[in-house]
Every structure is written in C-alpha cells, then in structure tokens.
Amino acid sequence: MDSLTLACTVSLLAGGLYWFVCVLGSAEQKGKHAVQLSGGSIQRENVQDNYNQYWSFFRRPKEIEKAEKVPDFVDTFYNLVTDIYEWGWGQSFHFSPAIPGKSNLESTRIHEEMAVDLIGVKPGQKILDAGCGVGGPMRAIAAHSGCNVVGITINEYQVSRANAHNKKAGLDKLCDVVCGNFLEMPFEDESFDGAYSIEATCHAPKLEDVYSEIFRVLKPGSMYVSYEWVTTELYRGEDPEHVEIIQGIERGDALPGLRNYSDIAEVAKKVGFEVVKEKDLAKPPSQPWWSRLKMGRIAYWRNHILVMVLETLGVAPKGTVDVHEMLFKTADYLTRGGDTGIFSPMHMILLKKPEKSQES
C-alpha cells in the first residue's frame, strides 16, 4: 500500500470513528457526549458494583419497603443513569405529550411552562422544584415566569450538572440548586410562593411524606402542581401482563411501588391541601407521550454498540453497558405501559394550601 492510500484509509477511519462517536452519539442539547459517560459521583471502578447493588434491592423487596433505605437507592440509581439520560434524552428527565409540528424540545418546554402557569405565580416570587434533576424544567420555568426557582435533588452529581447548566444558560441568578431529601427539606416553614414537581414524587416511598413537606414550606394561599406517575383505571392487578409491565417500570426507574391514580387526591387532602384540579394529561386528545421512545429504537441500538465499544476501550466505566441495557429494557416496558393505557407519567394534580382562617 503506498503512503497516499494509507493516509486516505487512516483519515477515512478516523473520520468514521469521529462521526460514530461524536455526531451520532452527540447529546440532544449538547449536554453530554458519549465519550463523557460516567457513573456520576461513583468512582469509575465502583460503577459495576453499584449497578449490582441497585439490582439486589429488587431481590429483597422487603428492603424497598423500608422507607429509610429508598433515598439511598434512588441516589445510586441517578449516579448510574444521569449521564446516559442527558446524552440520549436531554436536560429534562420527563415525558411530555407529542405535539404535531413541534420538536421534542418544544413539546417538553410547553409541558414545563404549563406547570408554572397553573400555579399562578408572579415574576420575582420564589418557587420550589421538588426533585429537580439537572434542571431542564427549572431553566425553562425561570425564563418563562421570571420567578426565582429553588430546586432540590437527592443526587449530588445532579447538583453539579444543574449548576453548570444554569451558569451556561445565564440563569444562575434565578436558579438555585440544593442537595437534599424532599422527605425532610432544609427549608423554613411557609417560605415559598409556589411549588411544582415533575415526575419526581413517584420516588417517595410514601406520597404523604413528600406532600406534607411541600405543604409545610408553602405560604398559605399558594399552589402546588405535580405530574405523577400512576397506574390508570385500566390496570388490573390480576392480569399477569399488566403486573409484568408495571414491575418492569418500577425496576428500571428506581420506584418503590407505583400508586394508582385514585390515591393521589386522597393523600393530598389528608395532608391539608385543597384539590383544585386533577387531570391525566396523557389522555386523548393528547398525542402519545411514548411515541418518542418508540421512534428512538434504532438510536438505542446504535447507542448500545457505542457504549459497548467505549466500555471495551476503557473510556466508559465498567458497568455502563449493563446500565444501558437496563434502560433499553425499561424503554420497552414504558412503551407497553403507554400502548395498553395502564400507566401514565403525567397525572396532573393542582393543589392549594388554604389561606389561614381568621381564628387561627
């Protein structure tokens, strides 16, 4: 082979590799690239062990029932998946109904803005994002409403990602992120003008515990909206296929147990909220939220090959392939949950903390 042919072959191979890794594998919002996949706050040599530990929770269902263990197991889960989510989905870790003619990014933003519009807050007021992830919703909501948003997440790595994104977006004056447990928040009573949570409270072992904390930190007369993960009226506990789908969703998403839609308002009333509105945003005429998962299937295969290559080369930590495979399977359970109509990730509930009565 002459030197010209060799040079051409080498540049073609290098170009192909660059295209495969950086172009095909690029992050939706340039948040993460495949070559940067990590285990969050877990040291790279411990990623595999942590993944095995995560699964062992499900081999001992009694452990999951022990409420105090859940935040740790959720934290481990987010160390394992945060980079993969950012790389393959974007900075907003939730679903939204597909909107004809709109991109995924636009539909996501519309779904987020709806949350803050519902709680009727004014620019300059302070609102809480309970379970804020890396802050995709927080930035959209701060920019749209002009409110100061304080987010809380159990995962330290997400705090660092959210802070970096906030700064880059020029929204660090409006957005603050705290690492903590939303079951016992480090905030004063009656210190927020509003609150929202997007697909996050499903991680609480008892919904009552997180709702009562949010109730405590809200000022009287202010509102809270939540997009809840629930089983719908079509779910039948005696149908083995339904049980398989729901268990698949729970295992692949670090959930201590999905609740039925009919339980949500009951819990809210029990802790003192008034229920203003309740609606499953996934129901027609909304377009399927799961179509984005279905359309992504080819990309998941490509991602899987890429993750295998990167793990073999020692670029991605050992265990990344297992985590990716878990997500791959989870995407299928979620799609089946959507297709059968037994599951919704966007059961919206709008709540109000009552004004103080004259006597009190």
Ligand X SMILES: C[S@@+](CC[C@H](N)C(=O)[O-])C[C@H]1O[C@@H](n2cnc3c(N)ncnc32)[C@H](O)[C@@H]1O
In the bound state with ligand X, the residue whose beta carbon lies nearer, of 104 and 181, is 181
What is the distance between the alpha carbons of residues 53 and 76, in angstroms, rounded to a whole number?
A: 9
Half-sphere exposure at residue 299, Cβ-oriented, CA atoms within 13 angstroms: 18
- Quote the least distance from Cβ 302 to ligand L6FYQM2W, whole Å: 8
Instruction: Indicate whether 111 belongs to the interface with ligand L6FYQM2W (CB under 6 A).
Output: no
In the bound state with ligand X, the residue whose beta carbon lies nearer, of 148 and 181, is 181
Residues 11-40 that bind ligand X (CB under 6 A): none
In the bound state with ligand L6FYQM2W, the residue whose beta carbon lies nearer, of 51 and 85, is 85
Q: Mask 270-299, x = binds ligand L6FYQM2W (CB under 6 A)?
A: --------------------------x---
CB 129 within 8 A of CB 150: yes
| Span from 31-39, 148-156, 266-274, 326-334 in contact with ligand L6FYQM2W (CB under 6 A) | 326-334
Instruction: Indicate whether 166 belongs to the interface with ligand X (CB under 6 A).
Output: no
Instruction: Indicate whether 300 belongs to the interface with ligand L6FYQM2W (CB under 6 A).
Output: yes
Instruction: Indicate whether 199 belongs to the interface with ligand X (CB under 6 A).
Output: yes
In the bound state with ligand L6FYQM2W, the residue whose beta carbon lies nearer, of 222 and 335, is 335
In the bound state with ligand X, the residue whose beta carbon lies nearer, of 153 and 330, is 153
In the bound state with ligand L6FYQM2W, the residue whose beta carbon lies nearer, of 94 and 161, is 94
Q: Mask 47-86, x = binds ligand X (CB under 6 A)?
A: ------------------------x--x---x--------
- DSSP collapsed to 3 states, the chain: CCHHHHHHHHHHHHHHHHHHHHHCCCCCCCCCCHHHCCCCCCCHHHHHHHHHHHHHHHHCHHHHHCHHHHHHHHHHHHHHHHHHHHHHCCCCCCCCCECCCCCHHHHHHHHHHHHHHHCCCCCCCEEEEECCCCCHHHHHHHHHHCCEEEEEECCHHHHHHHHHHHHHCCCCCCEEEEECCCCCCCCCCCCEEEEEEECCHHHCCCHHHHHHHHHHHEEEEEEEEEEEEEECCCCCCCCHHHHHHHHHHHHHCCCCCCEEHHHHHHHHHHHCCEEEEEEECCCCCCECCCHHHHHCHHHHHHHHHHHHHHHHCCCCCCCHHHHHHHHHHHHHHHHHHHHHCCEEEEEEEEEECCCCCCCC
Q: Which of 155, 166, 222, 320 binds ligand X (CB under 6 A)?
A: 155
Residues 64-93 that bind ligand L6FYQM2W (CB under 6 A): 84-85, 88-89, 93
CB 223 within 8 A of CB 120: yes
Closest C-alpha to 146, from 159, 132, 127: 127
Instruction: Indicate whether 328 belongs to the interface with ligand L6FYQM2W (CB under 6 A).
Output: yes
Instruction: Indicate whether 181 belongs to the interface with ligand X (CB under 6 A).
Output: yes
The two structure tokens encoding residue 341 = 């109509």
Instruction: Indicate whether 108 belongs to the interface with ligand X (CB under 6 A).
Output: no
Q: Mask 201-240, x = binds ligand X (CB under 6 A)?
A: --x-------------------------------------
Q: Which residues bind ligand L6FYQM2W (CB under 6 A)?
A: 84-85, 88-89, 93-94, 199, 202, 253, 296, 300, 303, 324, 327-328, 330-331, 334
Q: Which residues bind ligand X (CB under 6 A)?
A: 71, 74, 78, 92-94, 131-133, 136-137, 152-155, 158, 181-183, 198-200, 203
